[in-house]
Amino acid sequence: MSTENARPSPPVTSTSILVLTLARRVETELAAALAPLDLTVSRLGLLGHIAGVPGVSFSDLARMSGTTVQSVHTAVKALAAARLVRDNTARAGSASTIELTKAGRRLLESAKGAVAEVDERLFGPDADPVQRQVGAAILAAFTTPRSP
């Protein structure tokens, strides 16, 4: 038998590549679900961090989001211009404390609904069985208390 007609062997299975592939699919689905809210995945992350840590600083936001302080300043400035957050700086040169506005809280609640729809579609009862299994494993890994 000629090797020309032989099927190539499947690629080596890599957990990193599989997770990255699924993460890109999730990000694409989330981006589409958030678009009607005029929200991106990155902006959603910032709003979530700000909501989760009232009075958070720019430095803390940068650490939590894995980006630079300069990028966070730019993003927060855009969120403030959209009246989604406010910076409660007491005076120039003092540490910033950033918090959601009422509009920001409403948008975050709407975004939670969009995220829940994506979760349901990708990991819910009607999803691919492998994706359901991955979703359950991820939730268990991050919600199960760990031993010290």
pLDDT of 6-24, one tens digit each? 767 666 678 888 889 899 9
CA neighbor of 119 nearest in space, from 3, 2, 22 = 22
Class of the domain covering 39-138: mainly alpha
CA distance 78 to 83: 9
State the chain's mean pLDDT as an integer.
Answer: 88
Torsion angle of alpha carbons 51, 141, 67, 91, nearest 10°?
30
pTM greater than 0.85: no
Q: Length of the chain, please?
A: 148
For the record, the structure tokens of 134 come out as: 């991955």
Q: Are 61 and 50 in contact (CB under 8 A)?
A: yes
Give the pLDDT of residue 117.
97
Residue-wise pLDDT tens digits, 110-126:
999 999 999 999 999 99
Q: Which range (62-66, 113-117, 142-146) has the least confidence? A: 142-146
Whether 4 shows a pLDDT value over 70: the answer reads no
